[in-house]
Structure 1
């Protein structure tokens, strides 16, 4: 690459990267206002200019743009681009850039999703940890808090305590709100995907941790003035888990619905990790009460979701968020009930129904949607394993259950639908390819 020695790629290369990246930005945790970001990225100022994004963020976006460009030659460019991006992100907080905190946070999120997608899981986990620390240090969990809070200090820079300055306008504040929820979702995804069930928790669920930041907004609606001046937040997540499904303050935006679904997904996985067949009677009662509460919340939330559009929906920019939200809710049901599926027929049916929902898209052509959030591989794998588990059980009962072949045909069809979705997106994702292989191995073992 002739421009590797330069500070950044030529304008034409950067513009092409932006064009490749932006259609998929939302699925990889991009929370900034897209058109504002694009315009500032293409300004004719040198790298690091305060009117442009930080060098680290621009480098990461360029990396992802090349990654999404498809040609085989891009694979040879990515290691060098990744190395440059990581170096810039590591030093941006030491600069005097006015947006260095939020832009570094955005860059860390994008890197985490990139590492997750390419199968570098330890690197992804590290980036998520950095993003969580930066988020809490900047006080993004206390934006517009109704409670009196002490201003957060991110850290010591140049021997002086550094705090995030007040937002200059409503757009900056909206980006910070969305930045917090982006990190929360990513944290929950990575925790469930990479930790054992008994360790599904984390900094954002620590005792005494209270999130007051209002629910996120859809950036394409920001111009409608939906971020009201009098809006305040108070125990946002706790209120949701206590049954307040909607606060009627952009709590039903596509982004907010996906955030709530991620919270339910994580909560169900966390609860499952707490269950043990040897728990005391008192602990069993406490677990049963918590599980019933989460189950009621999942079902109520699902009942209020609009269905996934089945036809000609590819022109809808939010269709991928809708699919993700539904899949997270269904996966939450499976996480909550799967450990009881052998003993309780109701739990088994709940798991099967949720798994079928996750692989049934009607006539919707997934191939036309572009790249999906990398966590979708984990969700589809969960659904496929439910089908494999039930096919195995059906075969064991075949000798005494005359209808078993018919039941198995239905299960096989659902399994193949899930396999088809994973196969489609595994072509460019190392993580999805690995998950597809594990599903196929599980099926071959029955």
Structure 2
């Protein structure tokens, strides 16, 4: 019997769409690795690394981390392409610079280190810090090798971001050095040996935190391969250590303190948001998926504000049984500014963005289940609109909250643009919806004074690029229209575009990706004249 081959369309092939099973599309084209296999590879390798961190006194060989997308020949007697190697052997990560002396470490002077850490902490909420800030600062201030101090990989990741965002040319000049140190230490797994009486799983948190910081750094630099390597490492660490299925009651029974519980909850949701937002920005499927056979069940409760855990609260006051699966499906929930959590709204906004990519990518002119698609489309459109309205109504927040509101509102606006992209070229309703949310994204900039900040979440560069292109497309349509055009309509769109491009310009100095996106928008705008 003839078997129809996959046509390679993403995120679901034509065959799976025709059979009404887009969620189950797992076919690998050419040398590619399917989403589930890629995650399995990362999880298997990093679970072994987690066991090493949890049991430092065992004399098992170290695990060799590799890029699972490479099609290396499997080791004899093994189904995996990674073989164990002796401890302390230098580990090479594909495409990432290495230092000549992997064991060497030249820490910055004390005053330099303090400046770098302070610069990092000023922007930590947008860089992916999920550890408790007070404990983190205390651990960062300890001498290297002291009980409870941060490991070399994490400290260098902090120094790396501190140098990137520093106003000192001297410290900025050390960025490459800190980058190489952080990457090599992370790849080699140079984690701090836990103290016998301490929570040894903190080493896993350190590794995951390092991976998140490095992922955001390389993505912000426009170095997507390296960024995705660290992002997938973070995904594999949190899922491999079951942080997506935390049993909070059991942790309380084991006498884990609320702040430590909060760090583990925040670790998962930070990686979840990173995975959802960037997979959508790069037009690909997420690793932490809620659909089809590759779906991952998430039972970890929504993250609370850091202050809530510090005050002893460990569970939401309401909606504990309200999961990410319920949210994505659009199930109603009573949200309130009283339960405001920066990370919760970010994770929800990122999930909507990824869902919009998935739904819009399913559309085909000749699709057999058109009515089912339209119902799904309408439900998600209503959900996105309602969530954006909720975010727009939150007022009188502190600087970090306001900055996160801008990021989350922009995610939601771009989710709407992405969802309507399937129809915007042919239907005026979708075109007007895309234009309206693009203008709303520009208007959200009124929330913050970007002169006070040097950085926003790395994905914002991609989001503003999408917003700008939506505005440019409408300007182009008006210019080419045979019908009379009202100048106030053009001015409204142009003003919004100026606002977004001005914001991109103010942040481009510290984000090569932002600079690249801005340059592309400038060229596209110049071509209109």
The answer to whether TM tops 0.5 is yes
The unaligned stretches of length 5 or more in structure 2 are 1-102, 195-199
Other-structure match for 1:84: 181
CA–CA separation in structure 1 for the residues paired with 2:511 and 2:175: 14
Measured after TM superposition, the shift of residue 90 of structure 1 is 2.2
Is 1:415 paired with 2:497? yes
Measured after TM superposition, the shift of residue 100 of structure 1 is 1.0
CA–CA separation in structure 2 for the residues paired with 1:94 and 1:419: 42
- Residue by residue over 1:242-282, the C-alpha shift from the partner in whole angstroms, topping out at 9 and shown as x without a partner, is 333436698642221121111111110121222223x4232
CA–CA separation in structure 2 for the residues paired with 1:371 and 1:129: 23
Cα contact 1:181–1:259 (8 A) shared by 2: yes
- Residue by residue over 1:8-39, the C-alpha shift from the partner in whole angstroms, topping out at 9 and shown as x without a partner, is 33332221111111010010100111111111
Other-structure match for 2:142: 43
CA–CA separation in structure 2 for the residues paired with 1:432 and 1:76: 20
Is 1:100 paired with 2:183? no
Length, aligned pairs only: 415
Other-structure match for 1:114: 217
Is 1:305 paired with 2:385? no
Is 1:292 paired with 2:374? no
Measured after TM superposition, the shift of residue 180 of structure 1 is 0.4
Cα contact 2:218–2:227 (8 A) shared by 1: yes
Is 1:138 paired with 2:241? yes
- Residue by residue over 1:347-372, the C-alpha shift from the partner in whole angstroms, topping out at 9 and shown as x without a partner, is 11211111111112348422223421
Q: Which moved more, 1:7-16 or 1:120-129?
A: 7-16
CA–CA separation in structure 2 for the residues paired with 1:229 and 1:355: 33
Which of residues 175, 195, 214 in structure 1 aligns to 2:263?
Answer: 175
The unaligned stretches of length 5 or more in structure 1 are 152-165
Other-structure match for 2:527: 445
CA–CA separation in structure 1 for the residues paired with 2:497 and 2:316: 49
Counterparts in 2 of 1:378-393, with a 5 A limit? 378-393=462-477
Other-structure match for 1:281: 368
CA–CA separation in structure 2 for the residues paired with 1:204 and 1:294: 17
- Residue by residue over 1:276-314, the C-alpha shift from the partner in whole angstroms, topping out at 9 and shown as x without a partner, is 23x4232x22221211111121122123224365xxx79
Q: Which moved more, 1:348-357 or 1:251-260?
A: 251-260
Other-structure match for 1:154: none
Q: When you count helix as a share of all residues, which structure comes out higher?
A: 1
TM-score (norm 1): 0.85
Q: Which moved more, 1:219-228 or 1:341-350?
A: 219-228
Cα contact 1:184–1:204 (8 A) shared by 2: no
CA–CA separation in structure 2 for the residues paired with 1:440 and 1:200: 30
CA–CA separation in structure 1 for the residues paired with 2:186 and 2:161: 14
Is 1:70 paired with 2:167? yes
CA–CA separation in structure 2 for the residues paired with 1:362 and 1:246: 28
- Residue by residue over 1:203-241, the C-alpha shift from the partner in whole angstroms, topping out at 9 and shown as x without a partner, is 434534111111112213432333149999557111112
Measured after TM superposition, the shift of residue 104 of structure 1 is 0.5
Other-structure match for 1:264: 352
Cα contact 1:308–1:323 (8 A) shared by 2: no
Counterparts in 2 of 1:228-267, with a 5 A limit? 228=315, 234=321, 236-246=323-333, 252-267=340-355
- Residue by residue over 1:392-412, the C-alpha shift from the partner in whole angstroms, topping out at 9 and shown as x without a partner, is 111111x4x223444222222
Q: Which moved more, 1:234-243 or 1:176-185?
A: 234-243
Change (3 A) 1:363 1:85: closer
| 3-state SS of 2:476 partner | helix
CA–CA separation in structure 1 for the residues paired with 2:248 and 2:149: 30
Other-structure match for 2:289: 204
CA–CA separation in structure 2 for the residues paired with 1:193 and 1:218: 26
Measured after TM superposition, the shift of residue 6 of structure 1 is 4.1
CA–CA separation in structure 1 for the residues paired with 2:525 and 2:389: 32
Measured after TM superposition, the shift of residue 7 of structure 1 is 5.0
Is 1:124 paired with 2:238? no
CA–CA separation in structure 2 for the residues paired with 1:347 and 1:229: 37
| 3-state SS of 1:323 partner | helix
